[in-house]
Amino acid sequence: MTGAGARWKPGASQETLRLRARVLREIRDWFWSRGVLEVDTPALSAAVATDPNIQSFSVRSGSETYHLHTSPEFAMKRLLAAGSGDIYQICHVFRDGEAGARHNPEFTMLEWYRTGIDMHAMMDEVESLVRAVCADHGPLGGARRVTYRDLFLETVGLDPFEASTDGLAAALDAAGIPPPEDPGHDRDALLDLLLGTVLEPALDPARPTFVHDFPVSQAALARVRPGSPPVAERFELFLGGMELANGFRELTDSTEQAARFESDLARRAARDRPGGPVDHRFLEALRAGLPECSGVALGLDRLLMFLSGSETIGDVLSFDITRA
């Protein structure tokens, strides 16, 4: 399907569109069998994403400005605080500026929360779901779990908790990777770039790999576990040479979460990125009481890329941004 005259046609083949339908059915069956409730929350929010690496789309309705959600996380946690119990959602999310072989500004996310379980039990559950969905694809290799620190040490010989900014920049230079373009990029930006361009490609693409125990500065919405050094109870799943999922043992402290929002906004300002209103209703829900839980977001389109052997995300979408 090449040439401007073919842009009305879907980027995904009919076979891939049927694969998507099958995977969606299998995911819903998997959650139904476990008594996890499917929910549906709004795509529009009065709050923006505070994560320094994510940009929200904004829309006007009358005199009010709203923002398309970059994740259903805050709304789902409000449901958890209201007593929903275990929940999941499959929805489209929107991130401005994300376009490329593995990114589309609009993509499908599977997000779910389980009460009363820790990060390691959540990794067990993610592996179970991925294996169930991939059963017809062929056997996956045995899953590997490795700490963020150990992965850096074995791949680039640097301790990510102790290496200097100059040391991280030197590791990027040795790999032929230019530094981040963002003004005000910080140490975490260098770590993210090393993870995505050097460590990730070195992982076995046929073996699910869980990387866990991230630096506290990358805790986002995760709890921090005391230690030497303290670590964020956060994990990422890699498969097929891609990051597929990002999960946490969820932070339940509203005061700590508010402080993290302020820190994120300061980092955004240092990168000349716009801020905006934080989600005060989410903070109110935390004050009311979020149950002990772990959660994860999984990129459904990337999972389909793995299952179909596709090199670009446009090959698994009916119409990517170039065909919108």
pLDDT at 283 over 90: yes
Per-residue model confidence (pLDDT) at position 184: 53
- For residue 229, whether the previous peptide bond is cis, meaning omega lies within 30 degrees of 0, is yes
Per-residue model confidence (pLDDT) at position 272: 85
Question: Comparing C-alpha atoms, which of 286, 280, 239, 274 is closest to residue 261?
Answer: 280
Per-residue model confidence (pLDDT) at position 179: 80
Per-residue model confidence (pLDDT) at position 2: 47
Q: What is the mean pLDDT of residues 17-25?
A: 98
Q: Does domain 4-140+247-323 have CATH number 3.30.930.10?
A: yes
pLDDT at 5 over 80: no
Least confident of 77-86, 168-177, 182-191, 285-294: 182-191
Burial class of residue 182, CB neighbours in 10 A (0-12, 13-18, 19+)? middle
pLDDT digits (tens, 9 = 90+) for 161-215: 999 999 999 999 999 998 877 655 678 989 999 999 999 999 999 999 999 999 9
Distance between CA atoms of 132 and 308, rounded to whole angstroms?
16
At 232, is the secondary structure helix, strand, or coil? strand
pLDDT at 252 over 70: yes
Confidence band of 273 (pLDDT split at 50, 70, 90):
confident
Q: How far is CA 56 from CA 42, 59, 178, in A?
A: 15, 10, 26
Q: What is the mean pLDDT of residues 215-231?
A: 94
Residue pair 160/147 in contact by the 8 Å Cβ criterion: no
Q: What is the mean pLDDT of residues 276-287?
A: 96
User: What residue has token string 């045995």?
Assistant: 142
Sketch the domain layout of the chain as residue ranges.
Answer: 4-140+247-323
Q: What is the mean pLDDT of residues 87-106?
A: 94
Residue pair 24/90 in contact by the 8 Å Cβ criterion: yes
Range list of H helices, 34-164: 73-81, 119-133, 148-156
Per-residue model confidence (pLDDT) at position 73: 97
pLDDT at 35 over 80: yes
Least confident of 215-224, 235-244, 247-256: 215-224
Average pLDDT along the chain: 94
Per-residue model confidence (pLDDT) at position 1: 42
pLDDT digits (tens, 9 = 90+) for 124-142: 999 999 999 999 888 898 9
Per-residue model confidence (pLDDT) at position 186: 79
pLDDT at 4 over 90: no
Confidence band of 157 (pLDDT split at 50, 70, 90):
very high
Per-residue model confidence (pLDDT) at position 309: 95
User: For residue 37, what are the β-bridge partners?
Assistant: 87
Confidence band of 53 (pLDDT split at 50, 70, 90):
confident
Least confident of 98-107, 114-123, 174-183: 174-183
Q: What percent of the chain has pLDDT over 70?
A: 97
